């Protein structure tokens, strides 16, 4: 198994997509086998969640600074931290769909990353009374129940109310940006929504501050909990058991994650639904207009899992490069490996070509074909992922 570490700097989404597939080399490591691949995958997952946790902690500090001293500069800093933290978290999405720590029994995915979100469930919104626009002072912020982490967790998606989201990335996003009512940019919530006194806008500023603090702290704790389950130094962790399990069992999970994210989730739920409905509310990060970055990060996660690599901007993690599914496929069927890599590259390019912001691209007749091209490229990739499972003698049921 090979593993190299070095530091890379932060890059914007488009430049991340431009990374070359040649970084990893063309020859499988000597003696590589399925067990080495599953171990390298677990190490990759651990590195990704470690970075996501570190970024979430940076966000927590930025939010604490903003809540302590609300101003335009501290609000912008919190928004920047949220946007950067989303890049590393977006690359963890491929570790879902097989009952792991994030979305297995008792998993925290629904508390971390649920969407779409009913804004009125959290705070005031611009709505209609008859034919007139009005401010509707609704939601948890404008209620009276004490705001705690436990309370917010309890209020998240009660029963079958999937859009009644009170926690996670998108609740924080809404509290930082507010509704996106613009056709040219993101939401424009003023920092004065958090200021008590004459300068303050919209009531219950103290509760809004308490909500933003509590929901961000809860996000950090939840990611910390998931990351701990991939700690390979702990023999009872999910990651250690994943490595110790029969190789075919763990390989099936890896490939199911790739196929389910690329097809049902990314192509259909995150892109095609919004494309077909032309509905901004179906956009993944609709308040901050950073959906394009989400798509980039998710595309990278597919590539990471197949190639067995992970790039990070943190020096302590650097660049992870281990044996991946590609090495097993290359040994079995070199032509299929070449096909998958070609389709990864095609899907990568198609996702990069989607115009930003995504909420306008779904409406623009000149831009819509680029979204459709990305959807089709991802579905084409998923078909080849099914072939990968067959070539390795595995059976998968994609979500």
The tokens describing 227, both together, are 């990351």
Q: What is the pLDDT of residue 18?
A: 38
pLDDT, tens digit, for every residue of 215-251?
A: 999 999 999 999 999 999 999 999 999 999 999 999 9
Helices within 178-272 (DSSP H only): 205-228, 238-244, 247-260
Helices within the chain (DSSP H only): 13-17, 34-68, 72-90, 109-112, 149-155, 169-177, 205-228, 238-244, 247-260, 273-277, 291-307, 325-332, 334-352, 358-361, 368-391
Q: Classify 135 as helix, strand or coil.
A: strand
Q: Tokens 């959906």 map to which residue?
A: 291
Q: What is the pLDDT of residue 321?
A: 86
pLDDT band at 16 (very low <50, low <70, confident <90, very high): very low
Write down the CATH superfamily of domain 13-113+231-391. M75 peptidase, HXXE motif (1.20.1420.20)
pLDDT at 338 over 50: yes
pLDDT, tens digit, for every residue of 129-171?
A: 767 789 999 999 999 999 999 999 999 999 888 999 999 999 9
Q: What is the pLDDT of residue 316?
A: 58
């Amino acid at each position: 198994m090979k593993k190299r570490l070095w530091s890379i700097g932060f890059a914007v989404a488009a430049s991340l997509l431009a990374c070359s597939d040649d970084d990893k080399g063309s020859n499988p490591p000597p003696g590589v086998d399925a067990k080495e691949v599953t171990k390298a995958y677990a190490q990759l997952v651990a590195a990704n969640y470690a970075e996501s946790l570190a970024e979430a902690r940076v966000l927590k500090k930025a939010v604490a600074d903003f809540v302590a001293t609300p101003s335009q500069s501290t609000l912008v800093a919190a928004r920047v931290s949220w946007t950067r933290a989303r890049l590393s978290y977006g690359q963890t999405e491929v570790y879902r769909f097989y009952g792991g720590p994030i979305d297995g029994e008792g998993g925290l995915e629904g508390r971390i990353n649920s969407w779409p979100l009913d804004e009125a469930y959290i705070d005031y919104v611009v709505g209609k009374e008859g034919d007139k626009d009005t401010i509707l002072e609704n939601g948890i912020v404008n209620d009276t129940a004490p705001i705690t982490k436990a309370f917010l967790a309890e209020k998240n998606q009660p029963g079958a109310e999937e859009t009644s989201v009170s926690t996670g990335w998108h609740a924080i996003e809404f509290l930082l940006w507010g509704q996106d009512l613009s056709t040219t940019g993101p939401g424009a919530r003023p920092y004065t929504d958090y200021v008590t006194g004459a300068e303050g806008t919209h009531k219950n500023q103290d509760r809004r501050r308490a909500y933003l603090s509590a929901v961000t702290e809860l996000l950090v704790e939840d990611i910390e909990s998931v990351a701990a389950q991939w700690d390979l130094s702990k023999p009872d962790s999910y990651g250690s058991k994943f490595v110790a399990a029969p190789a075919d069992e763990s390989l099936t999970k890896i490939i199911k994650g790739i196929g389910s994210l690329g097809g049902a989730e990314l192509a259909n739920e995150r892109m095609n639904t919004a494309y077909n409905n032309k509905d901004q509310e179906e956009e993944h990060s609709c308040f901050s207009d950073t959906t394009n970055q989400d798509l980039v990060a998710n595309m990278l996660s597919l590539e990471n899992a197949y190639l067995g690599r992970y790039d990070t901007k943190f020096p302590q993690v650097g660049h992870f490069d281990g044996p991946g599914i590609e090495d097993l496929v290359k040994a079995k069927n070199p032509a299929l490996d070449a096909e998958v890599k070609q389709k990864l590259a095609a899907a990568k390019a198609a996702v990069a070509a989607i115009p930003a912001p995504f909420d306008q691209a779904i409406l623009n007749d000149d831009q819509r074909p680029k979204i459709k091209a990305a959807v089709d490229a991802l579905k084409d990739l998923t078909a080849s992922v099914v072939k990968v499972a067959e070539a390795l003698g595995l059976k998968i049921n994609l979500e």
